[in-house]
Structure 1
Amino acid sequence: MDTRTTAQAFIQRWQGVSASELATAQTFVIDLCELLDVPKPHPTPAQDYMFERPVTFSHGDGSSSAGRIDCYKRGHFVLEAKKLKAGAHTKGFDDGLLRARSQGEGYARALPADEGRPPFVLVVDVGTVIEVYAEFSRSGGTYTPFPDPRSHRILLADLAKPEVQARLRLIWTQPNELNPALIAAKVTREVSNQLALLARSLEQDGHDPHTVAAYLSRCLFSMFAEDVELLTKGSFQDLLLKHRASPDTLQQMLRILWVDMDRGGFSAALTEDVLKFNGKLFKGGSADGYSLLLRPEQIDLLVQAARANWREVEPAIFGTLLERALDPGERHALGAHYTPRAYVERLVLPTVIEPLRAEWANAQAAALLLAHEAAELEAHPPEVKTKKDFAALDRHHAAVRAKWTEARQQVKDFLHRLCTLRVLDPACGSANFLYVTLEHLKRLEGEVLNQLNALGDTQDALDLGRETVTLQQLRGVELNQRAAALAELVLWIGFLQWHIRTNGRASMAEPVVHDYGNIEHRDAVLAYDRQEPMTDASGKVLTRWDGATFKPHPVTGQRVPDEAAQVLQWRYVNPRQAQWPQADFIVGNPPFIGASTMRAALGDGYVDALRAAWPDVPDSADFVMFWWARAAALVGAGAVQRMGLITTNSLRQTFNRRVVQAALDGGLLASSAFSAAAGWADAGAGGAGAGGAGAGAVAGWVGAGAGHAGGLMLPNAQKSAPGTPHPGAGVAHLAFAVPDHPWVDSANGAAVRIAMTVLGTGPAEGRLLTVQREQASEFGEVAVSLAERRGLIHPDLSVGANVAGARSLQANADLSNRGVQLFGAGFIVTRQQAASLGLGTVPGLERHIREYRNGRDLTATPRDVLVIDMFGLTADAARQRYPATYQWLLERVKPEREQNNRATYRDNWWLFGEPRRVLRRQIEALPRYIATVETAKHRLFQFLDGVVLPDNKLVAIALQDGLHLGVLSSRMHGAWALAVGSWLGVGNDPVYVKSRCFEAFPFPDLDPAGALAERIRSLAEQIDVHRKARQAAHPDATLTAVYNVLEKLRSGEPLTAKEKLLHAHGLVGVLKSLHDELDAAVLQAYGWADLSLPADTDTLLARLVELNAQRAAEEAAGTVRWLRPEYQQAGRGEQVALEAESDPDADAPDVGALPKPAKVALAQRPWPTGVTEQIKTVAEVLAAAQRSLDLDGVAAHFSGRGRWRDRLPTLLDTLVALGRARVAGGRWVDAGL
């Protein structure tokens, strides 16, 4: 016989227990573990599963305090146990559980960063209830009721249910198995693969891809409808099976079914009534292709797809996979990775949900405060001794009712706000961001309704008169027609999933689907009257290579562009900025296209029209920055509360960062767009339209006829000092940022690196998250661990020293440049090929076939190749002097260059695309120069011989003195370059952006002939010689490999057998000692020997920023500390600017910026009249104080008349109950400190 405690015995034992929390909680958890058949807590050195787990709260004033978690299991849960005296479902009981939840979340936040936050918080009232809250992204979001607000509370009696026990057992053993996104991902992927097979088969039968996509969309919605019982369970699948042998009958039956689903009523196809579904999906029943004629094997594929559990399909990824399945051009990527839901949530939460939860916290606190006051008033009625006292009693009862009504109204007001706000994704794709937003809005709505019910509101939650969150509030703009249609489908499937899971099938009103028109199929950044084919002066229509079609070259056999594959070049008539639908929040993932590839991807006509419509967005900015600039302008103008967008991680680089800087300084103005006459572009009518919360905060968005609305005032266009906000402009702040994060391109599944930024109104600090660890998981998702810092987030997405505000220095000007950019692999030759072309036999050819190095040559194994460099020769001269070499280029370079959109590249095909004229002048008189790989894991500098031509992926620095090599090779410059540079690629390697890393770097002021300068020079020469000697002796001792070992030595990690061999071959111990001595000497040169690196990196950066400002001031006064005066003072700097203008990849000059104040001092303010505003304002006072305050200290921030102070103690206690403040010894402090 099983001796384990049965569920019934467990319930009987704990029902009505009245002992204290401390006496009962641990026994309750132990008994619960026995019931669930899971291991019990036990003390271990790792403290990973135990009772009374100690944690430390770190406060903003530098102090700390201790706490203990009732029960903790690492990676699983924090459990906070109470034994509340009040009975279940009373106000006191709910308040107690609310306090316990806040306490548990506080413990989760206080856990060490290396442990991460557990996915679950459990709140236990011993013997009564277990509440379950989850946060699966584990990145700092709010724990929300799990699985939903209606079923997260497990009563003691519910523990008899097997499904409840199974849920709790997984929380103890495999919590990720409960993650809805992971559960649904497998189902969704399988379904998408099946639909892709069917789509391919139908297209092979000659059906148009758009017709196929629409047909399959109707099929899959029907599959979903039968699984959630909006159609009779199994009816669609039965229809397929019944008519499998008669495809023509099935074709007609499906047509009949879908027409009936559109209008509702009796359906002959199913021989029963069907709901009225309405919407766009089932319209057009008489059109050709509405229902397709299938073959039996194609019907089998449909049946196979219909057998999937469509209840479990994950809308957050379904749209992406379905789009790939239905798009012939993207179907190859179907098996590739998709953007995980957790990544989407990482942006949606801080952009939309966290601000709303902050508002809800204020409204909830106000409601609870008023409820407390009502209860107190109700408990002390006046005595009734005479007839007159009855009138006083009536007034008392009326006052109590008014208090309760006011408490409920606080919640209803927020519910109205929640149900009328609008969220816009201006590049919505298949709506994964909008769907995730919808789900979180519905979760929050459920919590609000629960609170309303707890306050005694008796209105049925399903009452049709009550406001509710609907799809009407979610708006999107999408250029791809198929994706726009799928977006609506995905949103409706997601909405219906949530509605039925929460409210049941019986609650479904008709029509089931509405055509809100909230997803607009159009361009989000460019509007125009019409497109016309471009023509040349003779009237000939212009075309361009399609960028995708290749053919083998008849001589070389190499893949070259197929010149026959041409597409039209279009001219856009009357181009202007496109309108956006009105919204309160903007969130999304605009397309990733770099400035240098926009013309190839979009066409000359489109790019020219775009630049004309957006004259103030720099030409060097990426395509995504047009979305970012528009959204930021709307935030700055107060029209949008927050915007959050995904961009490439090059956002921090100068050419994009200038737009960010302008937004933070208030320089992104939506001038004429926000005049009273401009108006909003409203998508769809109804409750979430003009009457929504926030409408009219600013009198309009960009109108179609607004001309150059948007007037983006970038720093280089300001008439005031750089960094100074434009008069009257509203400044903004970065409320949240992740500078570098893995991502998956939605179109092709490629792994990329992105940045997340959330912009909010006004000056404030923000949350900066940085990736600490990345670990591959199922389906290609990279699970990331994040660390968080709070503070003023600078335009380069950093917190701390404002390195982004550093200015380029004249002292460093005209010395650094990227190497030549070939634009044609045919320029590169081996030594044998060079000899066959005449090197060594043809006079003068040695000047045109040169030594050549790229990044891999320096950091890994050199390729030992040469490059054909015809710089200085015309095509005729090259052909006459070196015919063999000319023919080589004619066959291997010209075919590719002929299809290039840039005329200079196309016409000068025998020359490098970017020959770097200035670089050649900079290094022509030098026997050697310094070079570093632009994108590399380790920031290393070395000397290259003056005859070597550097590749575009090298940054050449025209200095030959070992003193300069030593300073650049020090940890000081390495820390600076890491802070001000950028990051690139899937490997997330640092990028050396020369305009920031070199030109703004202040070198130490040293006598070049002094002893310390000579010491630095000698150490740098020794390092350079040592590395090259070890590489020559041991080819495996590449720089990357050697410095990987060096980093391990510095960290104290043990070396592997391979690394020990590299340590011996590279003599890495010697190299480390040289670097250590060099670092010490350079620190001494700055006068900063008190610093210890890397521990004092923040201090170092702050001092370098300060030194940069001092040098800039000196230069403004006429004193320049030239690094190479004999060259720099020769008047050649102007040439650098000229060449930079011709290079789309060149760094834009940085105008610098003035640091902004980190804090705005709080002055004494009038005591607010509204309860919600009182809650909000007192919470702001605690947050700004950065220390604990007593009652008088809080009150000192306010002025007012009457007895306003009487409410303060209850108000502060309410903030404590909600986890927004802590109290000890009669002093209150913000919970985040």
Structure 2
Amino acid sequence: MTDTQQRAAAKAFAKNWKDRGYEKGDSQIFWVELLTTVFGVTEISQFISFEDQVHLDHTSFIDGYIEKTHVMIEQKSINKSLTAAIRQADGSMLTPFEQAKRYSSELPYSKRPRWIVTSNFQSFYIYDMEKPGGDPEIIQLEDLEKEYYRLQFLVDEGNTNLQREMEVSIAAGEIVGLLYDALAKQYVDSTTERAMKSLNILCVRIVFCLYAEDAGIFGQHGMFHDYLEEFDTRHMRKAVIELFQVLDTKPEDRDPYMEESLAQFPYVNGGLFANEDIEIPQFTDEIRNLLLEKASADFDWSEISPTIFGAVFESTLNPETRRSGGMHYTSIENIHKVIDPLFLDELKNELKEIQQITVQRTKDKKLRDFQKKLSNLRWLDPASGSGNFLTETYISIRRLENEVIKELQRGQITFGFDESSPIHVSIDQFYGIEINDFAVTVAKTALWIAESQMMKETEDIVHMNLDFLPLTTNAFIVEGNSLQIDWESVVPKYQVSYIMGNPPFVGYSLQNKEQKNDILSVYVDEKGKPYKTAGKIDYVAGWYFKAAQFMQGTTIRTAFVSTNSITQGEQVAGVWKPLYDRFGIHIDFAHRTFIWDSEANMKAHVHCVIVGFSIAPNQAKRRIYVDGRFKEVNNVNAYLLDAPNEFICNRSKPLWNVPQMTTGNRPADGGNLIIEKEDYEEFIRKEPQAKPYIKKLVGSTEFINNKERWCLWLVDVKPAELRKMPLVLKRVEACKQDRENSPDAGRRKLAETPTLFRELNNPASFILVPKVSSERRRYVPMGFLDYNTISTDLNFIIPEATMYQFAILTSNIHMAWMRAVCGRMKSDYRYSANIVYNNFPWPEPTAQQRKKIEQTAQAILDARALYPDSSLADLYDELTMPLELRKAHHQNDMAVMQAYGFTKGSEAYKSEAACVAELMKLYQKKVEEIEKR
């Protein structure tokens, strides 16, 4: 079904079921009609089951279960609440979701749902069981025409073929690893540049031969194996060298008297076997057995996925080399998160619409035009690595072309095309830039393998043999530093349709000297000078800047995978403001933060975003993806929110008239002024005079987890008193020596005051805000402390703050702002005074509203006090948060929202993203007011 058809079907379905729906009589009809008419399910009886028994202490029935997509449905009658508890047969009170969860717990693990959907015919509440404790997504029946795509998970089945390809490809990578290690041992010195390059080329050639014999490219199955089997270990090296020479020689140029076993091999071309000046070591019995048994006789290489295998193959490189280069490898699923919204969804929809045409002559013309369009597109991956983005894109485009060929063929055996070959799409349309020479070779080989596999699929459609060898196509993948070379030297920009990829992930604090220089040479203004913030942005930002430059005056669209840090905190303005102000980019779609794993041996658990952007006008609705499902919005800003294009800049003072937030105290003492919990009692026993100078010390960990730690706070100590405390004096002397030995001049200066911390912030009372807090908490734990506690520099403090200010800062409004604009440490919140607090838009409450807010703040503290033995970590864990505290926070949230004018039913009340959008409008207004002064 096309998008237009699905929208129409969803509209008709919603109209048909408006204001109707009885749990017992209508449930099955409702779901059958939804799945068949809106989502195109054909064999409905095999797709969804109803009333499956589940045995608790009594027999119950699951309203609906879709095994293929792991969805459980709990249906209620129209107007029944989906959040209120309902009395069960056993007397317990459960919400519909809790009822479904209880059913789930009684199912075998393999059948437990990924998704639980509760419905009352007018609303769908969708719970993702990968996110326990998370709020449900809510879709209203009346909005189904616009939001049907958010229910796509009902029918999206896991691709079993892809799973098989993945398993085979990873197994193939393990074989390559064994071969690589065995061959490396045979080099005189495998660490030399020539030896390492030769080893990489040798592995690539062997893999191509293994694949070619299993895929039938060489002619008959097992040719490579049978040829090698003729030679014992001592002669195998020479046999391999001779084979490589033959594969690189045209039949007419070969020795007419060569052995038949060599002469039967075809000419490969393409340069894969061209360089004969490589170092090939002597083989061993281990290598011979690996090649003939494990790698050949026992394994079928024709089943590998070239996309996955390219990444796995590259994992045979030294892991340290891979890590320092910032390279990570993307799964096929994640590649499609980039290429589907960038171009593939649009092309698929275009083909679907052509397939709906009933006039055959018109349809055939449209199909041929569409095929020509596919053959004219060009893709550039400026950080191509092992080519997995290019390879998967080639496969996807060729599959579209094969659909076209199948439509034009109409099942006929006679080939119905005028051209000599039905295939127009070529790997010549794919361009890449990659700094690693081995990766360049792997990428080209992966594309050739993909070309072979797709040609085989075409042969099955047209019922004729197509010649794969000799290779006549070649992907244009250039070896070089993408941030140093001119991309137009690889491909003229007017030829490029799309740019894509996953550039290296290297944080600004982890960049080596060359990488820092790369960024400073790329992120420059019109006068060629580096932007002030260029030294504090991630390495990946260089690709965004060069892509924005490259796209000028074109219709190119770009999408990159990136670490989420470029869309958070201080980096947002540094990375994105030049792209908006200077190049006029706009974000077309974005995947918000997700954990991104690879198929390589060393999996890279990275918190990523995907950003698709362009410069040319784009009238299509913008999309924000969360957990694979998207929402259409009017704008996507650099924080990946549906909000205005504002940049929250580093600000030293608050925009609003509120107290200054400052950092806690940095000891800078080498640990000598700190008394750990286990040492405290012994220290006091031996040095009782020190007790008046000891205060509780809290960093973020101590504050949140209620851990005891102490420090010597010697601000007011007199020299005579200090000399009476030898243990204290000993610690002061050690602190002095630590500071004197520091390579930092500022710290050496502190040796003049060895009794003191670097900062001396000890107000009578203050609000403490941890700098880092878990993303699993809805609220960042904050609290009031007094002068008896010293905060370290791992916290922020607000001296002499009020209950009103505490209430605002601990509200869901401030938490929403913080989540949107703060930086992250991995995925944890990294609070910032200069970004989060100083830019936060404060409300202007009435006196009555302010009084109410102060009361709800006190209620939060009172609720905490009910649990004196529980830490803030215990109290703010979403699983263990006490009901009294949750209610107190809810009441505080309501009071604060009223102060902002976010009334019940408003978008800002219902949605955190909408709330942040309103806050950004307030921020924008305030900044404009200040600029006018």
Q: Which runs of structure 2 are paired with 1:657-736 in the superposition (5 Å)?
A: 657-658=572-573, 662=577, 665=580, 667-669=581-583, 731-736=584-589
Using the alignment, how far apart are the partners of 1:827 and 1:269 within structure 2?
81
Using the alignment, how far apart are the partners of 1:802 and 1:1040 within structure 2?
35
- CA distance change for structure 1 residues 320 and 69 in 2, over 3 Å: closer, same or farther? closer
**Higher RCO (CA < 8 A, seq sep 6+):** 1
- CA distance change for structure 1 residues 1117 and 910 in 2, over 3 Å: closer, same or farther? closer
- CA distance change for structure 1 residues 142 and 408 in 2, over 3 Å: closer, same or farther? farther
Using the alignment, how far apart are the partners of 1:52 and 1:1026 within structure 2?
44
Using the alignment, how far apart are the partners of 2:310 and 2:481 within structure 1?
20
Q: Is 1:1074 equivalent to 2:869 in the alignment?
A: no
- CA shift for structure 1 position 211: 2.1
User: For residue 622 of structure 1, what is the aligned residue in structure 2?
Assistant: 538
Match 1:305 to one of 295, 305, 310: 295
Match 2:841 to one of 1002, 1007, 1010: 1002
Deviates more, 1:840-849 or 1:182-191: 840-849
Does the Cα contact within 8 Å between 1:262 and 1:277 map onto a contact in 2? yes
Match 1:790 to one of 607, 632, 649: 632
- CA distance change for structure 1 residues 1104 and 324 in 2, over 3 Å: closer, same or farther? closer
Does the Cα contact within 8 Å between 1:972 and 1:1100 map onto a contact in 2? yes
- CA distance change for structure 1 residues 1099 and 828 in 2, over 3 Å: closer, same or farther? same
Match 1:212 to one of 199, 209, 221: 199
User: For residue 383 of structure 1, what is the aligned residue in structure 2?
Assistant: none
User: For residue 563 of structure 1, what is the aligned residue in structure 2?
Assistant: none
Using the alignment, how far apart are the partners of 2:315 and 2:629 within structure 1?
34
User: For residue 475 of structure 1, what is the aligned residue in structure 2?
Assistant: 431
Q: Which runs of structure 2 are paired with 1:195-594 in the superposition (5 Å)?
A: 195-206=176-187, 207=190, 208-231=195-218, 232-243=220-231, 246-265=232-251, 268=259, 270-285=261-276, 287-289=277-279, 291-303=280-292, 304-306=294-296, 307-327=298-318, 329=320, 339-357=330-348, 360=351, 368=357, 371=359, 404=361, 408-453=364-409, 460=416, 463-464=419-420, 468-503=424-459, 507-509=465-467, 511-514=469-472, 516=474, 518-527=476-485, 581-582=491-492, 583-594=496-507
5+ long unaligned stretches in structure 1: 1-42, 59-64, 79-109, 117-137, 144-170, 373-403, 528-575, 670-730, 772-784, 871-877, 899-904, 1049-1058, 1119-1233
- CA shift for structure 1 position 352: 2.9
- CA distance change for structure 1 residues 444 and 656 in 2, over 3 Å: closer, same or farther? farther
SS at match of 2:299: coil
SS at match of 1:587: strand
Using the alignment, how far apart are the partners of 1:439 and 1:869 within structure 2?
70
- CA shift for structure 1 position 44: 11
- Deviation string 1:250-272 (CA, Å, 9 cap, x unpaired) is 11111111111111437637254
- CA distance change for structure 1 residues 510 and 789 in 2, over 3 Å: closer, same or farther? closer
- CA shift for structure 1 position 1077: 3.5
Q: Output the aligned Cα RMSD.
A: 5.0
- CA distance change for structure 1 residues 1087 and 927 in 2, over 3 Å: closer, same or farther? same
Using the alignment, how far apart are the partners of 2:713 and 2:766 within structure 1?
21
User: For residue 1168 of structure 1, what is the aligned residue in structure 2?
Assistant: none
Using the alignment, how far apart are the partners of 2:816 and 2:903 within structure 1?
16
- CA shift for structure 1 position 591: 0.7
SS at match of 2:538: coil
Query: Which amino acid letter does the alignment assign opposite residue 491 of structure 2?
Result: P
- CA distance change for structure 1 residues 736 and 255 in 2, over 3 Å: closer, same or farther? same
Does the Cα contact within 8 Å between 2:856 and 2:892 map onto a contact in 1? yes
User: For residue 1023 of structure 1, what is the aligned residue in structure 2?
Assistant: 860
User: For residue 631 of structure 1, what is the aligned residue in structure 2?
Assistant: 547
Q: TM-score, normalised by structure 1?
A: 0.55
- CA distance change for structure 1 residues 997 and 459 in 2, over 3 Å: closer, same or farther? same
Does the Cα contact within 8 Å between 2:856 and 2:895 map onto a contact in 1? no
- CA shift for structure 1 position 975: 3.0
- CA shift for structure 1 position 625: 1.1
- CA distance change for structure 1 residues 191 and 68 in 2, over 3 Å: closer, same or farther? closer
Does the Cα contact within 8 Å between 1:1006 and 1:1013 map onto a contact in 2? yes
Does the Cα contact within 8 Å between 1:932 and 1:955 map onto a contact in 2? yes
- CA shift for structure 1 position 585: 0.5
- CA shift for structure 1 position 142: 11
- Deviation string 1:1060-1084 (CA, Å, 9 cap, x unpaired) is xxx7xxxx23323432443343344
Query: Which amino acid letter does the alignment assign opposite residue 300 of structure 1?
Result: N
Match 1:752 to one of 595, 606, 614: 606
SS at match of 1:930: strand
- CA shift for structure 1 position 459: 5.8
Does the Cα contact within 8 Å between 1:428 and 1:588 map onto a contact in 2? yes
Using the alignment, how far apart are the partners of 1:462 and 1:910 within structure 2?
84
- CA shift for structure 1 position 999: 2.4
- Deviation string 1:368-399 (CA, Å, 9 cap, x unpaired) is 48x47xxxxxxxxxxxxxxxxxxxxxxxxxxx
5+ long unaligned stretches in structure 2: 1-21, 49-65, 71-121, 129-147, 716-727
Using the alignment, how far apart are the partners of 1:181 and 1:909 within structure 2?
60
- CA distance change for structure 1 residues 51 and 288 in 2, over 3 Å: closer, same or farther? same
Does the Cα contact within 8 Å between 2:667 and 2:759 map onto a contact in 1? no
Does the Cα contact within 8 Å between 2:665 and 2:791 map onto a contact in 1? yes
- CA shift for structure 1 position 995: 4.3
- CA shift for structure 1 position 314: 1.5
Does the Cα contact within 8 Å between 1:523 and 1:578 map onto a contact in 2? no
Query: Which amino acid letter does the alignment assign opposite residue 225 of structure 1?
Result: A
- CA shift for structure 1 position 1013: 3.5
- CA shift for structure 1 position 226: 0.6
Deviates more, 1:209-218 or 1:881-890: 881-890
Q: Which runs of structure 2 are paired with 1:1022-1171 in the superposition (5 Å)?
A: 1023-1024=860-861, 1027=864, 1030=867, 1033-1034=868-869, 1037-1044=870-877, 1047=878, 1059=880, 1068-1088=882-902, 1090=904, 1095=910, 1097=912, 1100-1101=915-916, 1103-1112=918-927, 1114-1116=929-931
Q: Is 1:973 equivalent to 2:814 in the alignment?
A: yes
Using the alignment, how far apart are the partners of 1:524 and 1:46 within structure 2?
63
Does the Cα contact within 8 Å between 2:673 and 2:732 map onto a contact in 1? no
- CA distance change for structure 1 residues 332 and 1082 in 2, over 3 Å: closer, same or farther? closer
- CA distance change for structure 1 residues 805 and 310 in 2, over 3 Å: closer, same or farther? same
SS at match of 2:399: helix
Using the alignment, how far apart are the partners of 1:949 and 1:1091 within structure 2?
44
User: For residue 701 of structure 2, what is the aligned residue in structure 1?
Assistant: 856
Does the Cα contact within 8 Å between 2:435 and 2:481 map onto a contact in 1? yes
- Deviation string 1:170-229 (CA, Å, 9 cap, x unpaired) is x99x964x5332111111212212221232233233333322221121111111011011
User: For residue 4 of structure 1, what is the aligned residue in structure 2?
Assistant: none
- Deviation string 1:951-1005 (CA, Å, 9 cap, x unpaired) is 56534444521210111112232233334445552xx444445445322322232
Match 1:190 to one of 153, 157, 171: 171
- CA distance change for structure 1 residues 481 and 959 in 2, over 3 Å: closer, same or farther? farther
- CA distance change for structure 1 residues 426 and 1089 in 2, over 3 Å: closer, same or farther? closer
Does the Cα contact within 8 Å between 1:363 and 1:411 map onto a contact in 2? yes
Query: Which amino acid letter does the alignment assign opposite residue 910 of structure 2?
Result: A
User: For residue 733 of structure 2, what is the aligned residue in structure 1?
Assistant: 883
